[in-house]
Amino acid sequence: MKKIVYCSLMAFAVCFGSSCENKGGGDNYSTSTEKVGSGEELNTEPADNANVQTEAPLDSTQITTGNPPIPTYTSDADFVATAASGGMMEVELGKVAAQKGASAEVKKFGQHMVDDHSKANTELKQLAAKKKWNVPAKMNAENQATYDRLSKMSGKDFDRDYMAEMVKDHTVDVGLFEQATQKAKDADLKAFASKTTPTFRMHLDMAREINAKTYNQK
């Protein structure tokens, strides 16, 4: 009788233990699944938050320290065409800035561009006529598009975008003219580039200074 009772108890214990293990296994699987799910959510949210916290709005340094593509000097004729088109754009945009600029500083800068680039354009045309180089009568498509876009703006929006454009354009000007001082085959053209480059460097410094004040204006 004792053996029967003992065996019955052992059988019950084994069955109960198996049931508990199966139940526990089910809970562990379920819990594990929930943890994976919540883990994914936790891993995603901090990542998103981290991205939001580390993202910063554009500021003037991202434009003034940027590296716009500088055209490679290929020939004296191409340099003359590029410089003439860019010079025309600088003059026309300078006129717009002198009239529509929101700040006195931008207006003054615009007039400065009209005066200096008009002088450089005249000298380049005279040199081109002497050398029988073709000078474009109007801006190229890229310069015209820039002029069209900015000339439609006004107020602080114009100041901000115009000065950012002046930083970019004069970075290109300096880079291109510096190449001409080294690579121009014509001695007179090389002399013109050497004479003009310091003026464009001054323009770039001025543009960067004003751009730092206007870029984040609202």
- Residue 178: CB partners within 8 Å, gap ≥ 6? 193, 197
Give the DSSP per-residue string, the chain. Answer: -HHHHHHHHHHHHHHHHHHHHHHHHHHHHHHHHHHHHHHHHHHHHHHHHHHHHH-----HHHHHT--PPPPPP--HHHHHHHHHHHHHHHHHHHHHHHHHBSSHHHHHHHHHHHHHHHHHHHHHHHHHHHHT----SS--HHHHHHHHHHHT--HHHHHHHHHHHHHHHHHHHHHHHHHHHHH-SSHHHHHHHHHHHHHHHHHHHHHHHHHHHHTT--
CA 112 – CA 90 distance, rounded (Å): 10
Return the residue matching tokens 């020939």. 75
Q: Return the CATH superfamily for domain 61-214.
A: Ferritin, core subunit, four-helix bundle (1.20.1260.10)
What are the tens digits of pLDDT across the range 51-87? Answer: 333 333 344 434 444 578 888 999 999 999 999 999 9
pTM: 0.69
Query: What pLDDT sits at residue 42?
Result: 32
What are the tens digits of pLDDT across the range 148-202? Answer: 999 999 999 999 999 999 999 999 999 999 999 999 999 999 999 999 999 999 9
121-149 mean pLDDT: 97
Alpha carbon 118 to its chain centroid, in Å, reads 29
Going by C-alpha positions, the residue among 153, 128, 143 that lies closest to residue 173 is: 143
